[in-house]
Structure 1
Amino acid sequence: MESVSSPKFLSTLLLFLILSFLLALASASLASQGRALLQWKASLQSQGSLESWNLDTNPCNWTGITCNITRQGRHVIREVNLAHMGLAGTLNGLNFSALSSLTSLNLTFNELHGSIPPTISALSKLTSLDLCTNNFIGTIPLQISSLTKLNSFNLSDNQISGSIPPWLSNMTRLNFLYLSQNNFSGTIPKELGRLESLLELTISTNHITGSIPPPLGNLTRLQLLYCSNNGISGSIPPELGNLVNLVYLDMGNNSL
């Protein structure tokens, strides 16, 4: 029988302890993410189709949840897709810091309301944020400007107000920016011309005024541009002739 003090036994024991620690760490991480989602569920006025969200099941098996395994062997929640789930309530009860592994958050076609919490900026790995067709109000929080990995940002069909923030230009990886059917006012910020990766831009059905900024002509990859149903005036700048990949253009019902 091998001695408990032998180098081989000690190395095996050490390996076992390390593996146990890593497994416990993985479970704790996933468990904390699950608790954050359950706390948010409890705060909702209508929990819709979230019956599978409970302490008796692995969060990776919950409705709308997709998990991945990290390089360190940890299970983490990567995607939350709760579109058309019949949810009503706010995002105030959601601890975004516990969900820092998220790359995609889809809450479309629900009855969520209130303002967008600035703490959503904790989702630093997010590449897709889709909050369309809800009842969100207020302005776009400045903190969202730190989500520089965003590829798609959809706020359409809400009640977001204020001006379209110039700092959206910080999100240089954006391919899709949808802001239609809200209460945005003010002018189209010329800074949007820095989003040279944009493929689709919609700002239709708001209260946008002023003229079309010539820097939008820098969006040479743009395939879709919807600006209809606003109060945009002036002439169409010749710089828009640079949009050689444009397939869909709608500027109807303005004062051009």
Structure 2
Amino acid sequence: MASQLHKTLLCATSLLLLLLLPRALLVKASLGSQGRALLHWKATLRSPQSLRSWNLNSSPCNWTGVTCNYPVAGRGRSVVTEISLPRMGLAGPLDALDFSALGSLLRLNLSYNQLGGAIPPTISALSRLVSLDFTSNQFRSKIPVGIGSMKELRFLSLSQNQMVGAIPPSLSNLTVLVSLHLEDNKLVGVIPKELGRLHELMYLDIGVNRLSGSIPSNLGNLTKLYHLDLYQNQLIGVIPRELKNLVNLVYLSIADNNLTG
């Protein structure tokens, strides 16, 4: 009887270990897989000298521009939560970066570099991202529609690139977005009326593009806006009366368009 009970307890303990071990290994391997993903991307860059600390001899948490934290309030093993590499002289594409390995990222700042090519659609795998800053690079693609699924975003800047195509209406899904910077690109088409759903938006700059059509009256729904810049586009028609609802506005630029009335 005692022997049978011992065997039962041993089997139960073994089963519990088997259930827990893969999870522990997964958490432990998470940081390692993130490091490998970043090193793979580094290998594709043309000027990675500023990333000399990125190597297999140290933890990614000690690498330049990389911040780690615990995924849940001090529990579990640390993972990469922020990558901040502004003005690092980085040149090359982003398509070699495995975003699916970086699902714990909260902030990604690659501004003021020479990164180019397309912004990969796989960037939408960063579902926890709060801030995305690609300001002043050489990206030459459309804005990925999938960015609209990154619903935790509060800050988004793709300004000062060479982005083409239309502003995707899917950006209206970013309902907690506070600041949207798309200025100084080559965007065409109309200003999506769906942007009027971004009720938390305080800063909207889509100036210096090739946008056409009229100013959507729906922008009058953005009552928290304090900065609205539509400067130097090809907008036509009248200024919507609904803009009078923007009672918090302190900066408005609609110059250098083809507005009438």
Aligned to 1:34: 35
Shift of 1:143: 1.7
Aligned to 2:203: 200
Shift of 1:73: 1.6
Looking at structure 2, the residues matched to 220 and 86 of structure 1 have their Cα atoms a distance apart, in angstroms, of 39
Looking at structure 2, the residues matched to 167 and 28 of structure 1 have their Cα atoms a distance apart, in angstroms, of 34
> For each residue in 1:123-145, what CA deviation from the matched residue of structure 2 results, as whole angstroms up to 9, or x when unmatched?
11111111110000121122222
Aligned to 1:225: 228
> For each residue in 1:87-124, what CA deviation from the matched residue of structure 2 results, as whole angstroms up to 9, or x when unmatched?
00000110001100001111100000001101111111
Aligned to 1:166: 169
Aligned to 2:80: 77
Shift of 1:79: 0.4
2:244 to 241, 244, 247: 241
Looking at structure 1, the residues matched to 27 and 68 of structure 2 have their Cα atoms a distance apart, in angstroms, of 12
Asked if 1 retains the 8 angstrom alpha-carbon contact of 2:71 and 2:104, the reply is no
Shift of 1:164: 1.2
Whether 1:96 and 2:103 are equivalent positions in the alignment is no
Looking at structure 1, the residues matched to 21 and 239 of structure 2 have their Cα atoms a distance apart, in angstroms, of 65
> Structure 1 residues 234 and 48, CA, compared in 2 at 3 Å: closer, same or farther?
farther
2:115 to 102, 112, 115: 112
Aligned to 2:182: 179
Aligned to 2:54: 53
Q: CA RMSD in A?
A: 2.3
Name the SS of the counterpart of 2:188 in structure 1: strand
Normalised by the size of structure 2, how large is the TM-score? 0.89
Name the SS of the counterpart of 1:36 in structure 2: helix
2:150 to 140, 143, 147: 147
Aligned to 1:3: none
Aligned to 1:123: 126
Whether 1:251 and 2:254 are equivalent positions in the alignment is yes
- Count residues with an aligned counterpart: 250
Name the SS of the counterpart of 1:162 in structure 2: coil
Shift of 1:20: 8.1
Looking at structure 2, the residues matched to 151 and 48 of structure 1 have their Cα atoms a distance apart, in angstroms, of 31
Query: What one-letter code is carried by the residue in structure 2 that aligns with 1:218?
Result: N
Shift of 1:26: 3.5
> For each residue in 1:9-30, what CA deviation from the matched residue of structure 2 results, as whole angstroms up to 9, or x when unmatched?
x8xx98xx79987764443111
Looking at structure 1, the residues matched to 163 and 212 of structure 2 have their Cα atoms a distance apart, in angstroms, of 16
Q: Which runs of 5+ in 1 are unaligned?
A: 1-5
Query: What one-letter code is carried by the residue in structure 1 that aligns with 2:61?
Result: C
Normalised by the size of structure 1, how large is the TM-score? 0.91
> Structure 1 residues 25 and 138, CA, compared in 2 at 3 Å: closer, same or farther?
closer
> For each residue in 1:158-197, what CA deviation from the matched residue of structure 2 results, as whole angstroms up to 9, or x when unmatched?
0001111111111111111100000001111111111111
Q: Which runs of 5+ in 2 are unaligned?
A: 1-5
Looking at structure 2, the residues matched to 24 and 35 of structure 1 have their Cα atoms a distance apart, in angstroms, of 16
Query: What one-letter code is carried by the residue in structure 1 that aligns with 2:44?
Result: S
Query: What one-letter code is carried by the residue in structure 2 that aligns with 1:226?
Result: D
Asked if 1 retains the 8 angstrom alpha-carbon contact of 2:85 and 2:111, the reply is yes
